[in-house]
Amino acid sequence: MHSNLAKPRLLWLQGVTCNGNTHSFLNLHSLEQLLSKFELLYHPSLPALFSLEDLSKCHQKCDILIFEGTYDPMMQRDGISLEKWLQHYSSCARYVIAVGTCASFGGIFKASAPERSSGVLFDADKKSGPLVTIEQKVINLSGCPIHPEWLEYVLMMISAQKEILLDELHRPRELYSNLAHHGCTRNEYFEWKVDAENFGEKEGCLYYTQGCRAPMTHASCNKILWNDVSSKTRVGTPCFGCTESDFPRRDLFSTKTNMSIPVDVPLGVSKRSYLTLAGIAKTFHIKRLEGKLIDYKTVR
Amino acid sequence: MARITKEERKNGIISAALKLFSEKGFYITTIPDIAEKVGMSVGNFYNYFTSKDILAKELLIYISTYLGENIRDINERDISTQEKIYEIVSMYFNMAEEKPEMIEYFLRVYLSNREVFSEGCEGMLCVSPFVTEMMMFFDDGVASSELHDQDFFSAFGLFMGYLGGMVFLFGEKILPQPLEWYKESISQNIYNALKSR
């Protein structure tokens, strides 16, 4: 029986997955407090009320279904097809949370059976997944993997019975209206068009040659920091655009250019405007940004 | 009779200065020469441009904007890259014939008196509208697989250096034929050098 007074019943089900989101979720500092607000029916790595075998009979009901991994209808869990698992538990759930880019859009594991695999609601950016008839229930948390606090946010909002505003790809706007670029510690280098000369350096922008997708990627990675302290771009790895529906791309460590001109420019900026600004910014040589920051002497 | 607006006056100065600078040279031309040509007092001239150096920079921006707008018009047409090359060559040569002072200024004043432009016109600052449109042209050409991918300045130098050289020869009256005569072959040469392999 479900009522507002009872704890929502939570089920974590896996499709084709590397367990990345499962492991990421285990890093949540407030995991215990969060889970105390829910009745955990099943989770692949946490103590729960039922085993997978118990649930495969499809006699139980859940309020929140968390689905991790690419949806392949032919894949079986405990002898039951994912199609049947998803059909049964999504029909009784109030919310279906697709965690990770595989569950949201197909992601990396779509390659295992591309003709039949997808996310639960989207196949890349096309709304043609198995839950299309109950799309209003679906919340996509894309990312490879997701940040555990993103899932915490969604679960707390559900627990508090607050409305979660979604974007056109069913991602919570609160988390995905930012770009990964926002809050990047290299932004001054981006403004003045100063490249990172070598991989892993603290100085320089990763957008021009190293393939950074942060100016085109909806994610709050530089706002809600990873392990509370860092992000890919902060440590010198380009953003791979893993929260977007076209992930994964090829050549993640190199920027695609046409005659030295970036093919993709920052989101919402026309290429003509970008090239005008970039050309002018490159004209100026900012001494402080050209060498190692630690070597720069303020008083000369 | 309609009163001449301040903008029209300013354009008159630009036009006169372009002609004088390209004919007589930047240093020999004086502000009184320019004021006299447009029929205004030297004092009034300073209401429009506070120095000869500032005028020189404004002229460069004026030419760059003119070229940029014309190339943008070509870039936005629904035609192949090969056709765009012909249109850009054609536009540039027409400009050299109809407004020779603009190209002359670029070649003989801007490129020959870099010290005048060393502050305020560094890098792309005064030529941005023109260079940006050439970037748009090359980007579209590679994106549509009509041009091969290479360094921007290698391609830019090949295209614009070639045109500048031809216009220089034309200005020196060395070319045996009018510029019009060379449009087709030069466009073909540029396309052959840049096209996909």
B129 at the A interface (CB within 8 A)?
Answer: yes
Q: What pLDDT digit, counting tens, does each position of A175-216 carry?
A: 999 999 999 999 999 999 999 988 888 899 999 999 999 999
Q: Cβ–Cβ of A276/B132 closer than 8 Å? A: yes
What's the gap in Å between the CA of B56 and the closest CA on chain A? 19
B172 to A169, B26, B112, B166, B176: CA distances (angstroms)? 63, 18, 16, 10, 11
**HSE value, Cβ hemisphere, 13 Å, CA-based, for B159:** 24
Q: Taking CB atoms and an 8 Å cutoff, what residues of chain A touch B151? A: 259-260
Residue whose token pair is 């920091």: A225
Mean pLDDT computed over B2-6: 80
Q: Taking CB atoms and an 8 Å cutoff, what residues of chain A touch B131? A: 279
Domain ranges for chain A, please list them: 9-175, 178-287
Q: What pLDDT digit, counting tens, does each position of B144-171 carry?
A: 999 999 999 999 999 999 999 999 899 8
Angstrom distance (rounded) from CA B20 to CA B106: 13
Residue whose token pair is 């995991």: A31
Q: Which amino acid is at B50?
A: T
Restricting to B residues 151-170, those with a Cβ less than 8 Å away from any Cβ of A are: 151-153, 155
A283: nearest CB among B122, B132, B136: B122
Q: Are A98 and A45 in contact (CB under 8 A)?
A: no
Q: Cβ–Cβ of A261/B139 closer than 8 Å? A: yes
CA geometry: angle A167, A172, A178, nearest 5 deg: 80
What's the gap in Å between the CA of B121 and the closest CA on chain A? 9
Q: What pLDDT digit, counting tens, does each position of B59-80 carry?
A: 999 999 999 999 999 999 999 9
Mean pLDDT computed over A48-56: 96
B136: nearest CB among A263, A271, A284: A271
Residues paired with residue A97 on neighbouring β-strands, in sequence order:
A66, A139
Q: What pLDDT digit, counting tens, does each position of A11-22 carry?
A: 999 999 999 999
A138 to A44, A97, A131, A156, B72: CA distances (angstroms)? 21, 6, 8, 16, 45
Give the pLDDT confidence score for residue A2 in this predicted structure. 46
Secondary structure (DSSP) of B30-68: -HHHHHHHHT--HHHHHHH-SSHHHHHHHHHHHHHHHHH
Q: Are B37 and B16 in contact (CB under 8 A)?
A: yes
B136: nearest CB among A263, A272, A280: A272
Return all residues near B106 (Cβ < 8 A) that are at least 6 apart.
Answer: B60, B63, B164
What's the gap in Å between the CA of A23 and the closest CA on chain B? 41
Burial of B90 (0-12, 13-18, 19+ CB in 10 A): middle
Q: Taking CB atoms and an 8 Å cutoff, what residues of chain B touch A271? A: 136, 139
| DSSP at A66 | E
**HSE value, Cβ hemisphere, 13 Å, CA-based, for A74:** 7
Give the pLDDT confidence score for residue A5 in this predicted structure. 58
Q: What is the mean pLDDT of chain B?
A: 93
- Asked if the model's pLDDT at residue B98 lies above 80, the reply is yes
**Which residue out of B121, B135, B145 would a mutagenesis test of the A interface target, given it has the greatest number of A Cβ atoms within 10 Å?**
B135
The fourth-level CATH superfamily of domain A9-175 is: NADH:ubiquinone oxidoreductase-like, 20kDa subunit (3.40.50.700)
Q: Taking CB atoms and an 8 Å cutoff, what residues of chain B touch A193? A: none
- What is the ipTM, given to two decimal places? 0.84
Q: What percent of chain A has pLDDT over 70?
A: 98
- Asked if the model's pLDDT at residue A293 lies above 70, the reply is yes
Mean pLDDT computed over A122-149: 98
State the maximum Cα–Cα separation within chain B, in Å, rounded to a whole number: 61
Restricting to B residues 64-93, those with a Cβ less than 8 Å away from any Cβ of A are: 72
pTM of structure: 0.88
Return the residue of A nearest to B140 by Cα: A258
CA geometry: angle A25, A26, A32, nearest 5 deg: 100
Q: Which amino acid is at B37?
A: K
Mean pLDDT computed over A48-57: 96
- Asked if the model's pLDDT at residue A1 lies above 50, the reply is no
Could you tell me which CATH class the domain A178-287 is placed in?
Answer: few secondary structures
- Asked if the model's pLDDT at residue B114 lies above 90, the reply is no
What's the gap in Å between the CA of A264 and the closest CA on chain B? 11
- Asked if the model's pLDDT at residue A3 lies above 50, the reply is no
Q: What pLDDT digit, counting tens, does each position of A226-269 carry?
A: 999 999 999 999 999 999 999 999 999 999 999 999 999 999 99
A178-287 and A9-175 share a CATH fold? no
Give the pLDDT confidence score for residue B1 in this predicted structure. 57
**Which residue out of A257, A259, A269, A274 would a mutagenesis test of the B interface target, given it has the greatest number of B Cβ atoms within 10 Å?**
A259
A259: nearest CB among B129, B132, B138: B138
Length of chain A (residues) = 300
Mean pLDDT computed over A55-68: 96
- Asked if the model's pLDDT at residue B191 lies above 70, the reply is yes
Give the pLDDT confidence score for residue B92 in this predicted structure. 97
Give the pLDDT confidence score for residue A179 in this predicted structure. 98
B54 at the A interface (CB within 8 A)?
Answer: no
Task: Give chain B's domains with CATH numbers.
Answer: 52-194 (1.10.357.10)
Give the pLDDT confidence score for residue A300 in this predicted structure. 66
